[in-house]
Amino acid sequence: MFGSLFEEDYSSVSNSQYGKGKKLKTKGLEPPAPREVTNLSGIRNQGGTCYLNSLLQTLHFTPEFREALFSLGPEELGSLEDKDKPDAKVRIIPLQLQRLFAQLLLLDQEAASTIDLTDSFGWTSEEEMRQHDVQELNRILFSALETSLVGTSGHDLINRLYHGTIVNQIICKECKNISEKQEDFLDLTVAVKNVSGLEDALWNMYVEEEVFDCDNLYHCGTCDRLVKAAKSAKLRKLPPFLTISLLRFNFDFVKCERYKETSCYTFPLRINLKPFCEQSELDDTEYMYDLFSVIIHKGGCYGGHYHVYIKDVDHLGNWQCQEEINDMDVHLKDLQNEEEADDPLMILKTILLQEETNQIPVDQLGQKLLKKTGISWNKKYRKQHGPLRKFLQLHPQMFLLSTDESTVSLLKSHFTQAPSDLQRNQEQILHTLASEPPGLSDNTSYPHWFDINDSKVQPIRENAIAQQFQGKESAYMLFYRKAKLQRPSEARANPRYRVPCHLLKEMDAANIQLHMRRAECDSANNNFELHLHLGPHYRFFNGALHPEISQTESVWDLTFDKRKTLGDLRQSIFQLLEFWEGDMVLSVAKRVPAGLHVYHTLDGDELTLCEAEIADGEDIFVWNGVEVGGVQIQTGSDCEPLLIHILHLEMSGEEGSKCEQLVESPHVFPASAEVGTVFTALTIPVGVLLTNSVESADEECWTAIPKEDMKKTFREQGLRNGSLILVQDADSDDNSLLPRQGRWTSSVDELNWLQVKNLCQLESEEEQVQIAATMHTVVFDIRIKAIKELKLMKELAENSCLRPIDRNGKLLCPVPDAWTLEEAEVKMGSSLGLCLGKAPTSSQLFLFFALASDIHPGAEMEVIVEETLSVRDCLKIMLEKSGQQGERWHLRKMDWCYEAGEPLCEEDATLKELMICSGDTLLLTEGELPPLGFLKVPIWWYQPARLSGLWESRDHSNCASPQGSSWASAPSQGAPGPETADVTLLYLGDVEISEEATLVELKSKAMALTSLSKLAVQSPALLRVWTVESKRPSRLLRIDRRQLKEYRLGRRAELCLELLQKEEDLGPRDVLLRTQLRIPGERAYTLALDLVWDTTRGWTAGSLRQRVADFYSLPVEKIEIAKYFPEKFEWLPISSWNQQVAKRKKKKNQDTLQGGPYYLKDGDTIGIKNLLFDDDDDFSTIRDDIGKENQKQLALEKKKRSRVQRALCSVNARPAATVP
């Protein structure tokens, strides 16, 4: 027990063996917490060292012991810096005790560490985790200290402070001869069993006599015979400090087990030992002892926890019980109710005076104001005085803000001066709060007792000691000091008293380091991770917002200080998104099952992120506040998209064997939409809707929605994400899902079966069977039943699995045998395939893969791999299984639109690390991945007139045009005149280039492509570069010297080049527009001309009209302009318009063409009408009429096909046999 602490001898003097086998200590990332309000430091528990902590705190709060140890200088003890020198004599244990005591006195940390001290003991990690007896540790530690201090001036330290003697006497009744024996002690051990208290136990030990008579006679040496005698013991010498150990633990010889004595055992706060001493002629003050420490044990004899009650003799701590703290808060609240409380200077000053360091973070100041006064700054003072931070800035005569304005403190003049005339009514309260430093503001009539429980230090009242007289948590060791021992006045509330200079310097340096670390940590802890969702990278479809490209390119992570304002956040995002043009609106968004939804806009640029209630990890949607991708977005919780699962009957099977099958399909509806819109989504005119509710654990019930409730919203109807709706035709027969006998029932209630098809390529009497099951049935049981009912070989039980079959007949990922149907998310009534091969284990993945050049349903292959497999090894397996040769291959994920998605660039990463899941589809793509930091960009040629014979064709993943090599898209000049042709995008080739390269270097590389060299472009300055999105030119890239990484192109970016007639230098405020002049008397336009519009003075309609008029040399009052929307074949006039005013803005800044309904950007087509020759209101062309008519015909044909399909389903529907 206690490791080599027994065996220190002089190994602690010459430390050549010190440090061998020493454990590796790792430092935490965060600095230790500062001291709490008591201004005292605890000691961290190493796992089972609470007994050591309690004893060390007692020694630390024994000032005479602490100062005697401090008096031993480096010349006697050596130095810890020399401990590794072979010839140096370093006394490790006393040096580490000195250092620990200095830390407890001076280091500003909540709890000190004893790791270095226990290392000096030679303890192992196992020893630190094992709890021992504190009484035995006390003796062993004193013994080790005495051994360590041999040869120093402190060799008698323990003996001088704790050593006492007992004399045992036997007096012969015959000759009166006295036989005595003297014993030394460092602590007294007293009985607890059958004793009422300490004084009673001492009386039994040192006053009561034991009489030898009758059968128990004493042999007297003088009388040389057995005689009657009396035996007694007395205290001969009393030490300055008396340690008393209570025998709480005993052994029950009847039960043969140990037990703890928990009966009441009293002990006084002051005890007079005169009745127990041999000499009693001295003054009573020599025998008076005061209690100053009580080590308490909580638990039983086989384990428990130690903590200690300690009296702060030197008043080092700030003793203030909770009752007084509450009284102070009451005073502050009373202050708030007075007239003077209307002055926020008084309130803030009072709060700052309560801070020990006279410094506090600004955001915490507002929180403390709310906590102390019950009213927030914004509610009471903001309207009159503005934001809190601004108020502090406006009063530099009282408040001192840090350079980054994150913390605030009072100027020293206000911290020490008497209250002013304006504040005299609060003088008494301010005096209570701030007139004296910590440790002196307490009432000296109360002894200062603290409960030190490892790291935690709490003030207690003296009467709390009586609670430790009895019970499972009771006193175990008592420490008394002579009452006449007086402390010098210099030691009072002075933790630096008698501390050696070298330790003072070490602690001061450590405090500076701690302060710096806390400042760094405070900055790090106040940083928020925000997820910025960029509106231009999103599209609205299927009822919610979804990334248009990959998630990594659509969502940017931003680390931001939560103490900064929304205005600072907006400015930072503006700087980050250099390509952003127009207004920027920040809204709180949230990922829901349907996608991303925008809830509310962040208003009030002067609010901090905390005041705006932005949480760490918040999703922020960055957009223009109106639309995304041309679609107006509804925001708020009322229109939150709900993902609803709809069950309805559908025809399935081949001709001649068609039957109705219950199909589940997900649909997204706004929470504010009417329930009746379900029929519109399914293209069903009328019907019956039933919602699912669970009446008991084993029964599901379907309840019909009355017709009058069809106008209710989904939210009013109680529907939420994942809710199930059953749709039934209104004209269904008796075997359908109609009500029976006045109660809504459903054949879905009867769907307690699954259909299992034999796909094992083995002959059987039945091709498929129905297996009865519940949602809690285990998949293994269903598989075995299916094998039996299909009458297949029993060997299949070891080599088969069940795989769900989707509505298109595709086999999905195998279901593990150990899962229930509920865990596997298999719905009742669905179909499963019995297939050869085992299901993947919990550490394996079932993956689909296909060749990127041959992506179509049914082309996927399957493989089972370990989730710890690397991407490189997985690629080899898939290449081998698909029979492909060569090494120039890589893997890509398949995205949501069944196209090649992001490449798996980290080839050494495991599939698990890249979050590849069972059921995912990977694509084998030919070609090597570009190195890290490089882009492989497809380059296209963009021209208004169609060329032929110069371009090689290419099968491109984004342009699946089997007939040629170009994209035929809507012309950039809107609706062209008779002589214009369609705009084409022709493939040139791929360019591999570093992200560090500039735009002009990209142009130069593109010019080196064989296809482009045929056009003999003279200079990169004659090329204009656009990004390509949705098979059309999208964003114009400007500034030739800008690096590509600054454009945030992403790995799937594609670019197109446009030939210029002359060089151009577009500035950040220049907008490039395609302008076309309408031909008078004809519904057509001239060829498009490029117009550069400088928007420095604003994106207003007047500014644009003036620029167009100047460009065409026309009077501004004699022109009308309109923007063309090619996807709608519509023109929207700009000459006189009223834009929608956003609710968040009341100032007049809404007159911008960047916002709705125009959303003007580079490359847009502007039509110009000369009113001198053409004064009608029509901007459209014949081509627009044809386009609109085509769109109308397509919509009618789609509606007609849906109607025909429903009619066929109705004619071919089978009765009850079709839906079991």
- Residues taking part in catalysis: 50, 305
Give the whole-angstrom CA distance, residue 262 versus residue 485.
Answer: 33
Give the whole-angstrom CA distance, residue 108 versus residue 103.
Answer: 8
What's the chain's length in residues? 1220
Torsional sign, CA 637, 639, 643, 649: positive
What six digits make up the tokens of 868? 């710890």
According to the 3-state scheme, what is the secondary structure of 953-983? Answer: CCCECCECCCCCCEEEECCCCCCCCCCCCCE
Give the whole-angstrom CA distance, residue 561 versus residue 389.
Answer: 15
Pairing of strands 1130-1133, 1119-1125: antiparallel
Tell which residue, 103, 142, 116, has the closest CA to residue 18. Answer: 116
Give the whole-angstrom CA distance, residue 946 versus residue 965.
Answer: 12
Strand segments, DSSP code E, in 602-698 are 619-623, 627-628, 631-632, 641-652, 659-670, 688-696
Tell which residue, 1220, 1107, 1218, has the closest CA to residue 1153. Answer: 1107
Angle between helices 50-60 and 134-148 (to 10 degrees): 60
What six digits make up the tokens of 701? 């019930």
- List the 966-969 sheet strands across, edge first: 966-969, 983-994, 934-943, 1055-1059, 1023-1029, 1032-1037
**Cis omega (within 30 of 0) on the bond before 240?**
no
HSE of 383 in the Cβ direction (CA atoms, 13 Å)? 3
Tell me if 775 sits within 8 A of 822, measured CB to CB: yes
Give the whole-angstrom CA distance, residue 921 versus residue 849.
Answer: 5
Torsion of CA 613, 614, 617, 620, to 10 degrees: 140
Tell me if 457 sits within 8 A of 317, measured CB to CB: yes
Dump the DSSP string for 70-118.
HTS-HHHH--GGGTTSTT-B--HHHHHHHHHHHHHHH--SSEE--HHHH
Angle between helices 362-373 and 344-353 (to 10 degrees): 100
What six digits make up the tokens of 997? 């390269």
Residue 1085 DSSP symbol: B
- Amino acid letter, residue 1217: A
What six digits make up the tokens of 1167? 């039509």
Per DSSP, the three-state class of 776 is coil
Give the whole-angstrom CA distance, residue 625 versus residue 428.
Answer: 54
Phi then psi dihedrals of residue 15, to 5 deg: -95, 40
Tell which residue, 455, 452, 459, has the closest CA to residue 43. Answer: 455
Give the whole-angstrom CA distance, residue 170 versus residue 232.
Answer: 7
Torsion of CA 524, 530, 531, 532, to 10 degrees: -120
Per DSSP, helices labelled H in 594-712 are 677-681
What six digits make up the tokens of 391? 């108020």
Give the whole-angstrom CA distance, residue 383 versus residue 364.
Answer: 20
